[in-house]
Structure 1
Amino acid sequence: MDKSIFTQHISRQFNEELEDIVNRAMSMGGLVEQQLADAMDGLAEGDTGKAELVVTRDYRVNAMEVELDEECTHILARRQPTASDLRLVMAVIKTITDLERIGDEAERIGKMALHLLDKDRELHPMAEIAALGEYVRRMLNNALNAFARMDTEHAVRTAQMDFSADSQYEEILRQLLKRMRDDPDSIPRVMDIIWSVRALERIGDRARNICEYVIYFVMGKDVRHISFEQMAEEATGDRR
């Protein structure tokens, strides 16, 4: 973590509180990233042990989100932060909300993995699905690295990866829909795969969200719902 992102205060305890919530958000991010990796091992490789672990470990992600959200609320009440301090606390709150939802998506993939048989994996584009899973995991890792350093350029580059994630998702979806048209009996199994692939696409969206929070903290700009070109332009200004 880059400590230069913090405003230095007379109260050392306040500095430590801000560092602590960022560190804890990063720890939560690490757990969520592991959940995603294990869920994909369950889905693509048929590793039921890892799939079950993802499902049973989800409570840890939820607990971390609740505890950290409470700490952020206490900081807002006790310190009444302003300017960049307020933006930092809000960025952490928004980030952990998205991390918790990524954890939910990973749990969903884990549950779907437990329903699949080996023969189901042989009939579906598992190589492409595994590649998408690795791609969004890398997106998440990059987003967390941008968050740790509050690096707007890295955040913009990572957010732009969402274009490719969406394209990969759409191509896989076309293949799966064709499979259902050709073999109506396969529809129940294919739907499990579709929900898993949809979860991966959403994880990519939430990784992009984290990148947007980085730009919000550094630049004081809300870059949601604007083009990538506008986002890149907003990320090149002077820090407030």
Structure 2
Amino acid sequence: MDKHLSTQFDAEISAITTRVLEMGGLVESQIAQAVYAVRHFDAEAARGVMLTEKRVNQLEVEIDADVAQIIAKRQPTARDLRLMLAISKTITNLERVGDEADRIARMARDLIEAGANLSISFNEIIRESDLAVAQIRKALDAFARLDERAAVDIVTADSAIDAEFDSFMRKLITYVMEDPRNISASLDMVFIAKAIERIGDHAKNIAEFVIYVVRGTDVRHNKEAFNEVAGTL
């Protein structure tokens, strides 16, 4: 690729990265708003999450079209092709994060409409969501800078979200045992906590694609390959 074409390609990559980060900002906002809706039984906040979902879905379609056009026009190879693939995978994961936020908001709405009156503390869910939002933000930052070390840290930190989920599950079991009438609402809370855990998984996926772009090594579902990469940093 000559210098002129290389400059054009860099400009196209910069523009598409900006749109990916815009999409990431939207899903970060969705998560925070969805958890706020659960914590405060705020139906208006829940509706806001669901409205934002349409824009997130639209961005996924638009960015994927841009990726396909760049691949067809530039025919990138090696690292540039890996980057194109990683962008496509990243926006898929972001769209799924939006889906999880939308699911949380819908459950919050259902709890509100059912008149649920939960006396259980949401501390673990709040911490879990804070961790998940932080992971998404760090993953997007690692993606924007192609920061392999930050990506490795994100993958390693995923266990902290799992620990908060497990803690909340133990609390819910006790809550239900104390009063079986809490079963229905508690099941909704299980699904909400699980949705947040999945958001952390999507952040981990994005980080793994950063490693793939930089190193050319696919560490998904391959702990040995990940440990090998981490050991060189």
Given the two structures, how large is their TM-score scaled by the length of structure 2?
0.92
What RMSD in Å do the two structures reach over aligned CA positions? 2.1
Does the Cα contact within 8 Å between 1:156 and 1:232 map onto a contact in 2? no
Deviations 1:90-137 (A, max 9, x none): 010000000000000000111111122498564223122111111111
Identity of aligned residues (%): 40
**Aligned residue identity for 2:110:** H
> Is 2:122 aligned against 1:126?
yes
- Partner Cα distance (1:151, 1:46) in 2: 39
**Aligned residue identity for 1:189:** A
Match of 1:194 in 2: 190
- Partner Cα distance (1:222, 1:108) in 2: 30
Aligned length in residues: 231
Given the two structures, how large is their TM-score scaled by the length of structure 1?
0.89
Deviations 1:27-62 (A, max 9, x none): 111111111111111111223221110011100000
Can you give the 5+ residue segments of structure 2 that lack an aligned partner in the other structure? none
Match of 2:177 in 1: 181
Deviations 1:38-91 (A, max 9, x none): 111111122322111001110000000011011111111221110111011001
- Partner Cα distance (1:210, 1:138) in 2: 13
- Partner Cα distance (1:36, 1:235) in 2: 29
Which residue, 66, 71, 75 being the options, matches 2:70? Answer: 75
Which residue, 187, 203, 207 being the options, matches 1:207? Answer: 203
Can you give the 5+ residue segments of structure 1 that lack an aligned partner in the other structure? 1-6
What secondary structure sits across from 1:32 in the alignment? helix
**CA separation of 1:86 and 1:131: change in aligned 2, threshold 3 A:** same
Does the Cα contact within 8 Å between 1:143 and 1:208 map onto a contact in 2? yes
Does the Cα contact within 8 Å between 2:124 and 2:168 map onto a contact in 1? yes
Which residue, 85, 89, 97 being the options, matches 1:94? Answer: 89
